[in-house]
Structure 1
Amino acid sequence: MNDQPPAPSNTLRYVTIAFGVMVVGAAILGLGRTLGPTADQQAEETAARFDLSLLNPGQPVTIDWLDNPVIVLRLTSEQESLARSIDITDLLDPLARNAMLPPDAPASFENRTIDSDGPIVVMNAQCDHMGFIATYSDRPENTWFCMRGAEEFDPVGRRLITNGLGADSIGIPPHTVTEDGHLILLTEQELLLLGGVDRLIYGSGD
């Protein structure tokens, strides 16, 4: 009689190999998290969730989100001062254009920024006139510029009264911010589930 134990089946070997690959993969992932991602790396790795603490003042990050990239910018003190000094009546577009607020919300500084250890701008990368990507400039008086329509925008994406074809400010997409400071971009359906406007993030600015 043969007392040798039966050889392991092919299925068992495959399961063992797969488990080993998972363990190695988890270890590599853990190492990567220990090293910590940069803002640009995280924007590439996860489109829907972004750690706002990674932002440096005056250095915008573009997040690929669905068919419309989104810009996130922590304002410098100079950009904040200039944007706060602009009167809504001096804007070509007096509306906030913020998906998180009612359509008639005014384009106040508070309605165009979120506060996460300082003011942060979250807005579409494309201008609403012809869909071209807004170009960033570190000049606070006209921080954003559309090359196609020659539109100029202030640090928080509001349309300035200057030469150009379009009239609207750059739109702000649906999003929310978690208690631990992570930006979460939302689809229109997810926005409806949240109940629409989010006064916890944006002030009325009335």
Structure 2
Amino acid sequence: MADSTHVTPAQFPLPEEEDPSRRDVIMIAAGGFAAVGLGLGLWPLLDMMNPDASALSMATTEVDLAPVAEGQAITVMWRGKPIFIRHRTKKEIEEAKAVPLDDLPDPLARNANLPDNAPATDENRAGKNREPWLVMIGICTHLGCIPKGQAIGDPKGEYDGWFCPCHGSQYDSAGRVRKGPAPHNMAIPPYAFLSDTKVKIG
């Protein structure tokens, strides 16, 4: 007859249960290390997507207007676009103000500093409280050409403004299209005068 052995629980003790508070600390620490490691791994990728210094420098442009005499115009670059700045004469201002809005092919000011539905009056195209200054993006709205009229001797067209020789669009001294295939007035960029002789574009 086989000898049967009786196994008591004391001979094979069950493993002790792990302390719950210790387990929580270990899990939190492991999660924290994983989050830090993930952040360190992603940082170079995220940093690479930030614009570099040359792009940031083009976000705004400050222009000293002191050397620009009445009747003169300069061209500066902002975000890769030519910006026409003209110190208009009294004659040019009076001509622009005398134009009835009904005569304009595009009745909107196209001024980033005003609501989208602002009318294309001379006051809405020129600098606020600085009507001799006209600051606009010097790109023809037909096919993106650069109109003539900035330099001395450039043809200014029939309206003392700008003339695009590519397809014959003409703009007045407020940069509003008056003739030709261009559908819109030349756009006014966001800008603000920092002083009487300095303007910040962008």
**Do these two structures clear the TM 0.5 threshold for a shared fold by scoring above it?**
yes
1:149-168 equivalences in 2 (<5 Å): 149-160=167-178, 162=179, 164-168=180-184
The counterpart of 1:141, out of the listed 159, 182, 194, is: 159
Report which of the two has the higher share of strand: 2
RMSD, aligned CA: 1.9
Count of aligned residue pairs for this structure pair: 138
Deviation at 1:182, TM superposition (A): 1.1
SS in 1 for 2:97: helix
1:1-12 equivalences in 2 (<5 Å): none
Structure 1 residue 105 corresponds to structure 2 residue 115: no
Distance change in 2, residues 1:127/1:151 (3 Å): same
CA distance in 2, matches of 1:185, 1:69: 12
CA distance in 2, matches of 1:53, 1:167: 34
Deviation at 1:53, TM superposition (A): 2.5
CA distance in 2, matches of 1:140, 1:147: 13
- Give the equivalent residue in structure 1 for 2:141: 128
- Give the equivalent residue in structure 2 for 1:84: 97
Distance change in 2, residues 1:138/1:145 (3 Å): closer
- TM-score by length of structure 1 reads 0.62
- TM-score by length of structure 2 reads 0.63
The counterpart of 1:96, out of the listed 106, 109, 113, is: 109
Deviation at 1:112, TM superposition (A): 0.5
Deviation at 1:54, TM superposition (A): 2.1
Bigger shift: residues 174-183 or 164-173: 174-183
Are 1:126 and 1:170, in contact at CA under 8 Å, matched by a contact in 2? yes
CA distance in 2, matches of 1:61, 1:115: 19
Structure 1 residue 169 corresponds to structure 2 residue 185: yes
Segments of 4+ in structure 1 off by > 6 A? none
Larger Cα-atom Rg = 2
Are 2:123 and 2:131, in contact at CA under 8 Å, matched by a contact in 1? no
CA distance in 2, matches of 1:109, 1:56: 20
Structure 1, gaps ≥5 residues long: 1-46, 187-206
Structure 2, gaps ≥5 residues long: 1-59, 150-154
Distance change in 2, residues 1:93/1:118 (3 Å): closer
